[in-house]
C-alpha cells in the first residue's frame, strides 16, 4: 500500500514513532542517512532537508554544493533494526533552488528512465525479478596497509574453511561437493534467511523463494517475485540493507562481492525483465522463437548491441571481472539462448505462459547501483526496439542453445566478448553512450562523473601490490 501523509501520521501515532530516518544513495550506490524528530515531518515534506552535496562522492563540486533532500512518503516503512520506534523512507536529491531531482541523483535517473519508456509508447510498465546472491561468512578479517595486506573469510559450513576455534563437533560441516539446495542441517543459515525474508516481506517486497547456492562456504540466494520497475529499485535497497543487518544480528557478515574467493562460485545479480502494455505481456508470441515476440527479440538485441558499455553500470567493480570467467556459469560472451547459463541473456525454459514469459540478463552483479544499472538496461533494450536490432547470425548474438565453449576457437572468436576489466568497460561506455542520453535520462555530466569515480577505483587497485605477486616474484 502506498502511504500518504494521513497514513504516516496514523502510523506514527499507533507505533509511537519518535524519529524518521531519511535515506539516499550516492552515484556509486552507497546509502547515506539523516535522522530528524517525527514531529518535524510536515515541515520536512514542505521544505526538505538541506545538505552539502560536495561531501558526497561524484555528486557536486565544492563551489556549488548546496542540495536538498525531499522525502518520498510512498517508500516509508517501520525501521526493523532501530531500538526505538522509527520510520525510515527514501528521498530524492534535489536542486536547492528548483526542488527538482538533480541529474546525478540515482532515484531521479530511474524515474526519468521509466517516464522515457512510457512516453516512447513501447510499453506502459516493466516488471523485474532480481536474484540476490551473497555469501554469509562467520569471519571476514581484512587488512590493507603499506607493509601488509590480506584477508580471511571463514564458514562453519565448509570443513576446509572453518572459523578459528570452531571444531565442528557435530560433524555437519561438509566438503568436496556443491552447496546448491543443500539441506538442513548442512544449510546452517536457513533460519537466518527465513528471518531476512520475513523482514523483506514486511517492507513490502514479496519473495518468490530462497535457498543455499552453489558456494559451500555459505553462499545464499533470495529471489523476489515480478515487481514493477519503479517499485523494485527502491525495494532492492531495503533488501540489501536487511540482508547486511540481519547477518550482523546473528554474528555473521554478508557480502555481495562478485568474487570474494578464488576458484569458488561468484555472486551474480540476475535480472528477469518483462514489458507490458495495457496489461498485456508484449514479450510473448506463442509462434515466435522460444515464445518471444519481435519486440522481445529487439529488446534483447539492444542489450547485446550495447552489452560492452552496459557492463560499466551492471558490473562496476574491479572485482566484477574476476567472476566473469568460463566454467562458473557466468557469461563471457554476448549472446542469448534458451536455458543456456553461459549466455548473457537466458530465456527461462520453464516460463512458457504469456504471464510468465520474460528474459533473464545474467551478467550483472551486486556491486551495481540498482537505479543506474536497471535504467541503463531499460534504455539499451528500448534502443533495440526503436532501431529494430534483431539478434541473428550476422551480429553473432544468437540464439545459441548449445555450449559455446565446445565450439572450435575460430567460431568462438565470432562472438562479441564481455570486457575483461573495469577499465575496458569504462572505455566502452566512453565510446558508446548515446542510447543512455535519449530523453535526457542519463546526461553527459553523470556519465563523465561515473567514469571519473570508477577510474579512481581502477587506479587504487592497479597501484597496489597483489598478494599473489609475492608468490611469483619475491625470490626472483
For 38-47, how does the pLDDT look when each residue is reduced to its tens digit (9 = 90+)?
999 999 999 9
Is the model's pLDDT at 327 over the cut of 80? Answer: no
Residue 176 among the catalytic residues: no
Cβ neighbors of 16 (< 8 A, separation 6 or more) are 85
Is the model's pLDDT at 312 over the cut of 90? Answer: yes
Is the model's pLDDT at 65 over the cut of 80? Answer: no
Are residues 204 and 69 located together in one domain of the fold? no
- Given the DSSP bridges, would you call strands 19-25 and 86-95 parallel, antiparallel or unpaired? parallel
Mean pLDDT of 354-382: 97
Question: In terms of residue numbers, what domain contains 425?
Answer: 103-124+278-476
- Residue 361 pairs in a beta bridge with 271, 345
Residue 457 lies in a domain: yes
248/287 Cα distance (integer angstroms): 50
Are residues 88 and 167 located together in one domain of the fold? no
CATH code of residue 167: 3.30.590.10
**Which of 105, 156, 157, 221 is labelled catalytic?**
221
The answer to whether the CB of 353 falls within 8 A of the CB of 226 is no
DSSP single-letter state for residue 345: E
Q: List pLDDT tens digits, range 412-443.
A: 888 999 999 999 999 999 999 999 999 999 99
Say what the pTM is: 0.95
Are residues 108 and 153 located together in one domain of the fold? no
Residue 64 confidence (pLDDT):
59
Residue 279 confidence (pLDDT):
95
Are residues 260 and 348 located together in one domain of the fold? no
Residue 360 among the catalytic residues: yes
Cβ neighbors of 402 (< 8 A, separation 6 or more) are 337, 340
Are residues 177 and 260 located together in one domain of the fold? yes
**Which of 131, 161, 234, 241 is labelled catalytic?**
131
**Which of 105, 213, 241, 365 is labelled catalytic?**
213
* pLDDT level of residue 342 (50, 70, 90 thresholds): confident
**Which of 211, 341, 424, 432 is labelled catalytic?**
341
* 395 against 261, higher pLDDT: 261
Is the model's pLDDT at 372 over the cut of 60? Answer: yes
Mean pLDDT of 171-194: 96
Residue 9 among the catalytic residues: no
- Tell me which of 232, 267, 302 is where a domain ends: 267
Residue listed under C-alpha cell 521509466 = 114
Residue 270 among the catalytic residues: yes
Residue 411 confidence (pLDDT):
87
Residue 238 lies in a domain: yes
Are residues 289 and 172 located together in one domain of the fold? no
Residue 133 among the catalytic residues: yes
Is the model's pLDDT at 62 over the cut of 60? Answer: no
Are residues 167 and 309 located together in one domain of the fold? no
Is 474 in a helix, a strand, or coil? Answer: coil
* 348 against 65, higher pLDDT: 348
Are residues 337 and 460 located together in one domain of the fold? yes
Are residues 287 and 252 located together in one domain of the fold? no
- Residue 135 pairs in a beta bridge with 219, 255
Is the model's pLDDT at 63 over the cut of 70? Answer: no
Are residues 433 and 295 located together in one domain of the fold? yes
**Which of 323, 346, 362, 433 is labelled catalytic?**
362
Residue 423 among the catalytic residues: no
Residue 361 confidence (pLDDT):
97
- Tell me which of 240, 267, 294 is where a domain ends: 267
**Which of 156, 234, 305, 360 is labelled catalytic?**
360
Helices (H), 80-162: 106-120
Are residues 387 and 402 located together in one domain of the fold? yes
* pLDDT level of residue 2 (50, 70, 90 thresholds): low
- With CA atoms as reference, report the closest residue to 33 among 22, 45, 19, 49: 22
Residue 329 lies in a domain: yes
Residue 61 confidence (pLDDT):
58
Domain count, the chain: 3
Residue 362 among the catalytic residues: yes
Question: What are the C-alpha distances in Å from 163 to residues 137, 154, 218, 386, 470?
Answer: 9, 5, 12, 54, 25
CATH code of residue 92: 3.10.20.70
Helices (H), 341-412: 370-387, 409-412
* pLDDT level of residue 345 (50, 70, 90 thresholds): very high
- Tell me which of 100, 115, 148 is where a domain ends: 100
Percentage of the residues of the chain whose pLDDT score is greater than 90 = 84
Which range among 132-136, 154-158, 298-302, 327-331 shows the weakest confidence by mean pLDDT?
Answer: 327-331
**Which of 42, 52, 329, 402 is labelled catalytic?**
52
Residue 273 lies in a domain: no
Residue 341 confidence (pLDDT):
73
Is the model's pLDDT at 394 over the cut of 80? Answer: yes
Cβ neighbors of 222 (< 8 A, separation 6 or more) are 131, 132, 193, 196, 197, 200, 207, 210, 239, 243
Are residues 260 and 142 located together in one domain of the fold? yes
* pLDDT level of residue 92 (50, 70, 90 thresholds): very high
* CB-CB neighbours of 413 under 10 Å: 10
Residue 304 lies in a domain: yes
* CB-CB neighbours of 184 under 10 Å: 11
Residue 4 confidence (pLDDT):
79
Q: List pLDDT tens digits, range 215-255.
A: 999 999 999 999 999 999 999 999 999 999 999 999 999 99
The answer to whether the CB of 375 falls within 8 A of the CB of 110 is yes
Amino acid at each position: 500500500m502506498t502511504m500518504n501523509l494521513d497514513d504516516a501520521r496514523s502510523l506514527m501515532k499507533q507505533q509511537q514513532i519518535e524519529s524518521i530516518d531519511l535515506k539516499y544513495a550516492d552515484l556509486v550506490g552507497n546509502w547515506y542517512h539523516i535522522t530528524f524528530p517525527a514531529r518535524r515531518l510536515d515541515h520536512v515534506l514542505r521544505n526538505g532537508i538541506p545538505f552539502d552535496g560536495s561531501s558526497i562522492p561524484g555528486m557536486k563540486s565544492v563551489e556549488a554544493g548546496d542540495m536538498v533532500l525531499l522525502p518520498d512518503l510512498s517508500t516509508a516503512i517501520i525501521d526493523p533494526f532501530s531500538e526505538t520506534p522509527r520510520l525510515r523512507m527514501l528521498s530524492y536529491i534535489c536542486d536547492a533552488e528548483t526542488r527538482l531531482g538533480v541529474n546525478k541523483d540515482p532515484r531521479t535517473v530511474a524515474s526519468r528512465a521509466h517516464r522515457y519508456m512510457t512516453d516512447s509508447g513501447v510499453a506502459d510498465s516493466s516488471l523485474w525479478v532480481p536474484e540476490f546472491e551473497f555469501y554469509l561468512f562467520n569471519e571476514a578479517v581484512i587488512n590493507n596497509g603499506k607493509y601488509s595486506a590480506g584477508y580471511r573469510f571463514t564458514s562453519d559450513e565448509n570443513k576446509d574453511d572453518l572459523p578459528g576455534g570452531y571444531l565442528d563437533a557435530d560433524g555437519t560441516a561438509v566438503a568436496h561437493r556443491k552447496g546448491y539446495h543443500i539441506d538442513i542441517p548442512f544449510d546452517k543459515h536457513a533460519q537466518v534467511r527465513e528471518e531476512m525474508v520475513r523482514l523483506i516481506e514486511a517492507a513490502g517486497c514479496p519473495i518468490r523463494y530462497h535457498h543455499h547456492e552453489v558456494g559451500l562456504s555459505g553462499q545464499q540466494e533470495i529471489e523476489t517475485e515480478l515487481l514493477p520497475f519503479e517499485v523494485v529499485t527502491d525495494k532492492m535497497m531495503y533488501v540489501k540493507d536487511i540482508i547486511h543487518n540481519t547477518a550482523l544480528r546473528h554474528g555473521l557478515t554478508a557480502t555481495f562481492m562478485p568474487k570474494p574467493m578464488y576458484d569458488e562460485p561468484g555472486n551474480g545479480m540476475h535480472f528477469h525483465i518483462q514489458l507490458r502494455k495495457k496489461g498485456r505481456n508484449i514479450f510473448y508470441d506463442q509462434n515466435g522463437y522460444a515464445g518471444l515476440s519481435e519486440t522481445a527479440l529487439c529488446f534483447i538485441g539492444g542489450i547485446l548491441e550495447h552489452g560492452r558499455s552496459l557492463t560499466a553500470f551492471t558490473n562496476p567493480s574491479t572485482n566484477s571481472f574476476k567472476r566473469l570467467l568460463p566454467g562458473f556459469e557466468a557469461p563471457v560472451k554476448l549472446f542469448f539462448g534458451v536455458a543456456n547459463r553461459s549466455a548473457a541473456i537466458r530465456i527461462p525454459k520453464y516460463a512458457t505462459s504469456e504471464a510468465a514469459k520474460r528474459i533473464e540478463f545474467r551478467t550483472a552483479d551486486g556491486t551495481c547501483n540498482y537505479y543506474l544499472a536497471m535504467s541503463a538496461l531499460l534504455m539499451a533494450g528500448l534502443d533495440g526496439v526503436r532501431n529494430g536490432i534483431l539478434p541473428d547470425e550476422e551480429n553473432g548474438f544468437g540464439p545459441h542453445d548449445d555450449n559455446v565453449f565446445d565450439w572450435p576457437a575460430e567460431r568462438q572468436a565470432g562472438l562479441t566478448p564481455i570486457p575483461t576489466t573495469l577499465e575496458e568497460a569504462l572505455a566502452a561506455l566512453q565510446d558508446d553512450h548515446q542510447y543512455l542520453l535519449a530523453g535526457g535520462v542519463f546526461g553527459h555530466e553523470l556519465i563523465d562523473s561515473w567514469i571519473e569515480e570508477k577510474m579512481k577505483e581502477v587506479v587504487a587497485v592497479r597501484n597496489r601490490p597483489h598478494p599473489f605477486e609475492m608468490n611469483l616474484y619475491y625470490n626472483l
